Chains A and B, each alone.
Chain A
C-alpha cells in the first residue's frame, strides 16, 4: 500500500474572479513533506482545503492513497471525515469546551475506522510525543498559543492518518516560538513518518520543513523542487524574486547554448548567466541575482565589473551596499559586523555566472 497524495490538474473557481487554483498538479510520496509556498492569495490554502474536502474543487482529480477522493467530472466527492486525513488549522481550532485529553481523544472516539485499541494509551503516547505529557487534564484555554498548537498537532496525529495537512500552523505564534516549534515539528513529523502537505508563506519554514517546496502564484504551481533547487535553480523569475533574488538587471540575449546564456547589459557590458528557459538571441531578458551572491572587491574569471558604491547601510549583523556599474544598479549584502568597503572610489565586483539567472523579460512589473 502506498500512502500518498496525487493531485492532477486541480481547478477551483469561486463565483467571481479568476480561478483560485488553476490547473495544479503534483504528488506527495509516502513519508515526504511537501510545502506549498507563496504570498497570500496565491491559492495554496485553497489547494490544501480542496485536499481536505473542505472546499469542493471545480475540476481535476485528487487521490489520497489508492482512492480518488475528488473528481467533479465524474461526480466523485468524498466527505472530509472519510478521507483519512489529519489537519492542523491556522487558528489551532482546539475546542475550548474540552480538556487537552478530550480534544485529542475526540477523533479516536468518533472515527469510523479508528482501529480500536486503548484510547487512553494512544492519547498518552501522542501527548508525550508533542511534549504535553503532563497536560492531559488541563483545560485548553489555560494553555499558551504554542501549547494549543501542540494539542492540535496531537489531535491530528493520534489516529495516524494517511496524510497530514497543515495550514500555516505556526503563523499565529510569536517569532521566537515559531522557530522553536518549526524545528520540533520537523522532528515529530519525521519521527512518525507522516506524509504531509504544509502550507505557508514563510520561506524559512518551507526550507526547514519541506522535502520539496512548491511555489505558487495566482493559482498556478510555478515550481516544485527540493529546497536547494528552489534556491539555486529557480525556474521562474517570480520564484527567484520571492525567494530573495531581489536584484534585476535588464538586457538583451546575445547567445545561448543549453542552459548558459550571454546577455548584453548595454553600457555595463556582457554577462554570463544560467537560464532554465529556451531564450533566443534578440530576446529581452532580465537577470535575477541575490544580493548576498555578489562578490564585492573581487575580480573573478567571469562577469567581473568595476563600479561605485553609492550608499552603504550598516545593519549590525550585515552591511548592505548599493553599487552602480555601467548604468546598472545592484544591492550587495555582506555578512559580518564590520563593514569592509567604503563609498570612495571604484570597486571591483563579480557576479558569479552560476548564480545569475536569466529569464525572458515579459515586462513583469507585477513580479513584486
Chain B
C-alpha cells in the first residue's frame, strides 16, 4: 500500500514522457535548451584556488619562513636582538668559518659515533626482538611485543637522568651494588659508551617496528624452500630471512639514527658531565653563552638539518622503492619456529631487556626521589626507611615554577593538538580527497619538517620571532606553533590512513543527495574519520607535552614547560629533586596517555556504529 503513491504518480508522468518526450528530444538539438542559472556561479570557481593559497601561506608561515630566517642567521654575523635587521650583511664567510671550527668537527664526530654505535645496538636488539615476537613460540609474545614499545614513550631526558643515577662513576647505584658484591668493576655511563648503550636500548623499537612488519609479511615458503634445500634453521635466518628484510632493517636503522641525531635529553644528561658534546648539545651551548652566539647556532643547526635531510631522503627512497621481495600483498600466516626448551631462553632474554630498560631506571628514580641522601653505607641501608621521605617532592612543589610549568605544558599541549589537528585535517582532506591544483605543493610543504630535528625547529623559530617587536616570542603560542610545524607530517600521516579507508563513493553519494562539500565533510567524512582524528590529536598532544628540543630555545621564565624545568633541576645538580620531578612528569604523562588512549578507544568504539 505504502508505495502506491510513488508508483502511480511516476508511472503517469512516465507515460506522458514516452509519448512526447522521446520524439521531441531526439528531434530538437539541445542547443536551444536554456542554460540553467545554477550552472554558472563564479564565486565557487575562486573558492578552491583561494583555499589552496590560504593553506600554502599558512604552511609557509609555519615552516618556510622560520627556515629562511635560520639561513639568514647562518649567513650573517649580525645579532637580531642587538643590531636589528638593518645591519644584515649576507656572506657565506661566517657559515664556512663555523664549518671549519674544531669544536664543530668534534661535536659532529661525537654525534656520528654516538648515533652510529647506538644504531648498531638498536639493530641488534630490534632484530632479535622482532624475530622472537614474530617468528618463534616464545611464551607471552603478545606481552613482549607490547612492552617492547614502552621505551618510545620514555622522555629522553628522563631516561638520561635515570641512567645517570644508575651509572654515574662514583655514586651510581650500579656501582654501589658492585662494591657490595666485591666485584672490581665500575660502570661509567657519563661516557661515549654510556651514550651509545642508552641510545641503542631506547631507540631499538624504531628498528623493531620496521623489521617486525617485514617479517610478518614475508612469504614463509621462501624460508621453507631454504630448509628443503638442506639449510639449518640457523643458516636460513642469516642467508634468507635477514637478507630479505634488509631494506626494512636499513629503513629502521636510518630512522633510529636520525631520531638519535636530533635528541637533546640523553646527551645532555650523560654527555655533558664528561664534556662530550654532540651537535644538539653544542647548539644549545652556543645560545646559552653570554652573549649568545645565535649566528653560530644557526649555522650548526643547518649542518644538523642537512645531515638529517639526507638520511631521511635515503630512508624514504628505500621505503618507496618497495624492494621488499617479501611483500606479496597476500595474507600469510607467519611461520613460527618451535624453539622447544630454548623458548624460555628467548623469553628470559626479552625479560632482561625489559628489566634493564623499564624496571631498573624506574626503581633508580624512585629510590633517588624518596631518599634524602644518595649515600649507602651498606646493603641494609637501602631498606632503612628513616632515610626515605617526601622532602624532594615538597621542595619541588614549593617552587612556584613547578605548577606553572605543568599548567603551561598542558596549555601548549591542548593548543598544539587543536591547531595541529584542524590543520592536518584540512591538509589531509585537500591532498588525499580532492583534485585541486596545487595540492602536490601542499603535500610537499607539509612533509618538509620530517627532515628537521626538533632542536633545529627551535633555533629557526627563535630566529624567526626574536627580533620582531610585539611578536610571538615570549608567549606560549610560539611553542605551540613550533610544535605544530614540527609534528605536522606525523599528524597528516596518521590522519591520511583514516581518510584512505573512507570509500570515495560514500562522499559522492552525499553530493548526489544534494549536499555541498562542507556539508558532506560535516555529515559523512568527519563522523567516519573521527577515530583517526581523535587518535592523531592524541598523538600530537603527547608529542607536544614531552617535547624538549624545540622548547629549549623558545621558553621564557613565564612560559617554561615541564621538560625544560626538569633540565633546569638536573643542571642544578640536585639528583633528588631531579628524580622527584622526573617521576612527577612521568606520572602526568602516564595519566594523560591512558586518558587519551581511553578517549580514542571510546570514540573508536562508538564509531563502530552502535
A126 to B514, CA, bound (A): 18
Instruction: Sort A-B residue pairs by CB-CB distance and give the 10 closest, nearest first.
Output: A30-B17, A2-B21, A31-B14, A111-B514, A193-B14, A193-B10, A29-B22, A107-B513, A129-B3, A93-B505
Given A2-B17, A30-B21, A87-B508: A129 in contact with B34 (beta carbons within 8 A): no
A-B contact pairs, 25 of them (CB 8 A): A2-B22, A4-B21, A31-B15, A32-B18, A32-B22, A52-B512, A61-B30, A68-B39, A71-B35, A78-B36, A81-B514, A81-B515, A82-B514, A93-B506, A96-B609, A97-B607, A97-B609, A107-B514, A110-B519, A125-B5, A129-B2, A129-B3, A129-B7, A140-B609, A156-B512
| Nearest A residue (CB) for B28 | A6
Given A125-B6, A126-B6: A95 in contact with B511 (beta carbons within 8 A): no
Given A96-B609, A107-B514: A67 in contact with B33 (beta carbons within 8 A): yes
Does A16 lie at the interface of the complex (its beta carbon under 8 Å from any beta carbon of B)?
no
Q: A89-B505, A141-B609, A160-B10 are in contact. List 13 more A-B contacts (CB 8 A).
A: A2-B22, A6-B25, A52-B508, A53-B511, A61-B30, A69-B39, A80-B508, A81-B514, A87-B508, A89-B508, A95-B510, A95-B524, A97-B527
B511-A54 in contact (CB<8A)? yes
In the complex, per-residue mask of A59-96: 1 if CB is within 8 Å of any chain B CB, else 0: 00101001111010011111111100111011101111
Within 8 A of A (CB), among B570-610: 607-610
A80-B511 in contact (CB<8A)? yes
Does B279 lie at the interface of the complex (its beta carbon under 8 Å from any beta carbon of A)?
no
Does B20 lie at the interface of the complex (its beta carbon under 8 Å from any beta carbon of A)?
yes
In the complex, per-residue mask of B187-218: 1 if CB is within 8 Å of any chain A CB, else 0: 00000000000000000000000000000000
Does B422 lie at the interface of the complex (its beta carbon under 8 Å from any beta carbon of A)?
no
Within 8 A of A (CB), among B16-50: 16-18, 20-22, 24-26, 29-30, 33-36, 38-40
A261 to B6, CA, bound (A): 51
A193-B11 in contact (CB<8A)? yes
Q: Report A155 CB to chain B, min CB distance, Å.
A: 7
Does A139 lie at the interface of the complex (its beta carbon under 8 Å from any beta carbon of B)?
yes
A207 to B34, CA, bound (A): 35
Does B13 lie at the interface of the complex (its beta carbon under 8 Å from any beta carbon of A)?
yes
Q: Report A65 CB to chain B, min CB distance, Å.
A: 9
In the complex, per-residue mask of A36-62: 1 if CB is within 8 Å of any chain B CB, else 0: 000000000000000011100000010
| Nearest A residue (CB) for B610 | A139
Which of chain A's residues have a CB closer than 8 A to the CB of B21? Answer: 2-4, 29-30
Does B503 lie at the interface of the complex (its beta carbon under 8 Å from any beta carbon of A)?
yes
Which of chain A's residues have a CB closer than 8 A to the CB of B5? Answer: 125
Q: Is the interface of A mostly helix, strand, loop or mixed?
A: mixed
Does B243 lie at the interface of the complex (its beta carbon under 8 Å from any beta carbon of A)?
no
Which of chain B's residues have a CB closer than 8 A to the CB of A32? Answer: 18, 22
| Nearest A residue (CB) for B23 | A29
Q: Report B218 CB to chain A, min CB distance, Å.
A: 31
Q: Is the interface of B mostly helix, strand, loop or mixed?
A: helix
Does A124 lie at the interface of the complex (its beta carbon under 8 Å from any beta carbon of B)?
yes
A68 to B31, CA, bound (A): 9
| Nearest A residue (CB) for B38 | A82
Does A192 lie at the interface of the complex (its beta carbon under 8 Å from any beta carbon of B)?
yes
A90 to B509, CA, bound (A): 11
Which of chain B's residues have a CB closer than 8 A to the CB of A133? Answer: 2
A63-B33 in contact (CB<8A)? yes
Q: How many chain-B residues does the 8 Å CB contact rule pick out?
A: 52
Does B84 lie at the interface of the complex (its beta carbon under 8 Å from any beta carbon of A)?
no
A160 to B12, CA, bound (A): 13
A78 to B9, CA, bound (A): 27
In the complex, per-residue mask of A153-181: 1 if CB is within 8 Å of any chain B CB, else 0: 00111011000000000000000000000
- The residues of B with any CB-CB pair to A shorter than 8 Å are 1-3, 5-7, 9-18, 20-22, 24-26, 29-30, 33-36, 38-40, 503, 505-506, 508-516, 519, 523-524, 527-528, 607-610
B39-A81 in contact (CB<8A)? no
Does A218 lie at the interface of the complex (its beta carbon under 8 Å from any beta carbon of B)?
no
Q: Report B467 CB to chain A, min CB distance, Å.
A: 46
| Nearest A residue (CB) for B503 | A91
Partner of B38, one of A2, A74, A78: A78
| Nearest A residue (CB) for B607 | A97
A30-B14 in contact (CB<8A)? yes
Does A195 lie at the interface of the complex (its beta carbon under 8 Å from any beta carbon of B)?
yes
Which of chain A's residues have a CB closer than 8 A to the CB of B512? Answer: 52, 80-81, 85-87, 107, 156
Q: Report B268 CB to chain A, min CB distance, Å.
A: 47
A351 to B513, CA, bound (A): 53
- The residues of A with any CB-CB pair to B shorter than 8 Å are 1-4, 6, 8, 27, 29-32, 52-54, 61, 63, 66-69, 71, 74-82, 85-87, 89-91, 93-97, 106-107, 110-112, 114, 124-126, 128-129, 133, 139-141, 152, 155-157, 159-160, 191-195
Q: Report B129 CB to chain A, min CB distance, Å.
A: 37
| Nearest B residue (CB) for A129 | B3
Q: Report A2 CB to chain B, min CB distance, Å.
A: 3
Q: Report A9 CB to chain B, min CB distance, Å.
A: 11
Which of chain B's residues have a CB closer than 8 A to the CB of A112? Answer: 514
A31-B610 in contact (CB<8A)? no
A6-B30 in contact (CB<8A)? yes
Partner of A124, one of B2, B13, B516, B519: B2
Q: Report B71 CB to chain A, min CB distance, Å.
A: 36
A112 to B36, CA, bound (A): 15
B15-A106 in contact (CB<8A)? no
Which of chain A's residues have a CB closer than 8 A to the CB of B10? Answer: 160, 192-194
A3 to B7, CA, bound (A): 16
Which of chain A's residues have a CB closer than 8 A to the CB of B527? Answer: 95, 97
| Nearest B residue (CB) for A30 | B17
A302 to B204, CA, bound (A): 84
Q: Report B82 CB to chain A, min CB distance, Å.
A: 54
Q: Report B14 CB to chain A, min CB distance, Å.
A: 3
Which of chain B's residues have a CB closer than 8 A to the CB of A76? Answer: 35-36, 39-40
Q: Report B201 CB to chain A, min CB distance, Å.
A: 43
Which of chain A's residues have a CB closer than 8 A to the CB of B25? Answer: 2, 4, 6, 27, 29
Which of chain A's residues have a CB closer than 8 A to the CB of B20? Answer: 2
A85 to B3, CA, bound (A): 20
Which of chain A's residues have a CB closer than 8 A to the CB of B506? Answer: 91, 93, 95
Partner of A96, one of B6, B11, B38, B528: B528
A87 to B513, CA, bound (A): 8
B18-A29 in contact (CB<8A)? yes
Residue of A54, A94, A97, A141 ringed by the most chain B CB atoms within 10 A: A97
